[in-house]
A and B are shown apart, each in its own frame.
Chain A
Amino acid sequence: MTGSWNNLQVPAGVRDLLPAEAAALRELEQELVAFFQSWGYQEVLTPTFEFVETFQAGSPAGDEGRLYKFIDRQGRILTLRPEMTAPIARLVATSLRREALPLRLCYSARVFRYEEPQAGRLREFHQAGVELIGAGGVAADGEIIALAVETLLQAGLQDFRLGIGQVAVTKGVLHDLGLPQEAVARIKVALAGKDLVGLERLVDEYNLTGSKRRQLELLATLHGGKEALEEARANFIQTGAAAALAGLERVWQALAAYGLEKWLFIDLGILRDFDYYTGIVFEGYVPGLGVPVCGGGRYDGLLGQFGYPCPATGFALGLERVLMARGEGQGAGQDGYLVAGRDLAAVLRRAQELRRRGVTVIIDGESQNRQEAAARAAARGLALVWVD
């Protein structure tokens, strides 16, 4: 090869979708939005880029180093949206402020993050999700988790698990430890990163013994179903976490009674973006995929950042990850007709008639005879219609 061929490359972390992949993605998007709508969530579209301040109001993906930023002609800093929750919070706090709460909104959009690309982690990717704004409490948490499970089923996944945590339990326990702020911050980092070795060192360093030590261990490792909740209750009943834990139990009981237990487990170690979330959080996992396929939770503090304090919860799915988990991409060939003939007007007319029946029709004005057209149709897996 000669020359640099730079015009043939794309930057790291972005990719083209070929026809079969594009079709699979669009179909999934449409399916999901239709499904969200069947639960009463209305779709909204927000701008691809916004002022950087929108994402600095405590948005979990608003971390400076991960934003794509540029400057407009007035010198203001713009950013490609790294997620959809902050724009929807801004939208609700402004244009939808007069609407009655709760609001149920959904979206399907491309988002942009400057991350190290790896399997399932791109710099431009598709997210679909919902936000339930203006509703706190067990009913809203239960609705969102039930919707998440059913969404994954709707997306064609069977063999997934949804792990549920409750950051208010962790926050309550940490508060009760009565440690200086710096110590709490270090313990939080260790818990959020599941650095159990680091956590053990901190427990020793701050001389935590007895029930306090046990509570921290449980926060990091408690995992399971109903029995895990019972163990948590026994250990945390005396702490500031008791109320949050009782709420988690009620959500669990409702979802189990509804029949979703086989997809769910409790893991208090799931903290996601610890400072952003305020209550129940969850992540969806699929075997063989090293990253969560969906995630979300309660973020009662965000709307207040936009001057409209109210509770909120929601979740988002990574569509590329869903497709990867389904192992798709090489979809079937096209179905439809190849209409060929010597009279172009007659060919166009016949093709239009067929399209009105809702099938795909490709016109072939090049083939000189029936045999040639038949070969072309066969090569594309289409049925031939020859117009004499």
Chain B
Amino acid sequence: MVTDLLTLALPKGKLGEDALQLLQQAGLPVDGVATEARQLVFAFPADRVRYLICRPTDVPTYVEHGAADLGIVGKDTLAEAGADVFELVDLGFGYCRFVVAAPRQRWEEAGRSLETLLAGSRRVATKFPRVAAAFFQERGLPVEIIKLHGNIELAPLVGLADLIVDIVSTGRTLKENDLVEVVPIFPSTARLIANRVSYRINYQRLRPVIEALKRAAAQGGAGIATCS
């Protein structure tokens, strides 16, 4: 049967908290939902809505496989996941941007040119190998990508890599580690995504929710929040 229950995958953490604010503004039930609790499923049978609390990087997976109809996820995570999902609405919050960053001194020595910088060194540390590979490939710059899971700023400090590709919001972390942003890659905000089958087959159920979230986002959404 065509199910009437709508399942929405939400990311844990700050982005999830912002998403909850937006859901509330869109008129969806959020009473008692917390993204950092032990409870991972929150159901509102009267509203025919259910939330799954996932690791941010897992949101595209839940949606792609159809375990959730809709999901809220940062464009950064989505771009890296390469999942086959529909990207429906830019929700506006969770702003950050992908950048290439280098140690300040080396950047100055290279005359502020990416080509020159890469002439002698080509190791790039990142948490986002797919995004990084696509960026350098498009520019015809061969690089060696080193996948790390966090604290990317450390890699150039100890000679593990020459450059990093990372997300920044204020740029403070870069500054503290004496790194400079050398090229912007693309900006990222939270997105509403849908499973491609669910979007088509449960269209009547999904549409009012999508429209409500779109309106809430257009009205300023959850205010400007940034990703950590």
Contact = CB atoms under 8 A, between A and B. Distances in A.
Interface string A191-202: 001111110100
Contacts of A193: 86-87
Contact of B65 (A119, A267, A283, A287): A119
Interface stretch (B40-48, B151-159, B196-204): B196-204
A163 B196 CA distance: 12
Given A194-B199, A197-B191, A267-B200, A287 B87 contact: no
Given A195-B87, A290-B195, A163 B200 contact: yes
B64 interface: yes
Given A194-B87, A197-B89, A289 B197 contact: yes
A4 interface: no
A198 B87 contact: yes
B3 interface: yes
B88 interface: yes
Interface string B183-216: 0000000010011111111110000000000000
A291 interface: yes
B37 interface: no
Interface residues of A, number: 25
Contact of A161 (B89, B195, B201): B201
B87 A197 contact: yes
A159 B1 contact: yes
B66 interface: yes
B2 A196 contact: no
Contacts of B17: none
Contacts of A197: 87-90, 191
A363 B195 CA distance: 51
B191 A285 contact: no
B193 to A, nearest CB: 10
A81 interface: no
Interface string A271-300: 000000000000101111111100000000
Interface of B: 1-3, 64-67, 86-90, 191, 194-203
Interface of A: 118-119, 159, 161, 163, 193-198, 200, 223, 265, 267, 270, 283, 285-292
- 7 pairs of A and B residues whose beta carbons are closest in the complex: A290-B66, A194-B86, A285-B201, A197-B90, A285-B197, A195-B87, A290-B65
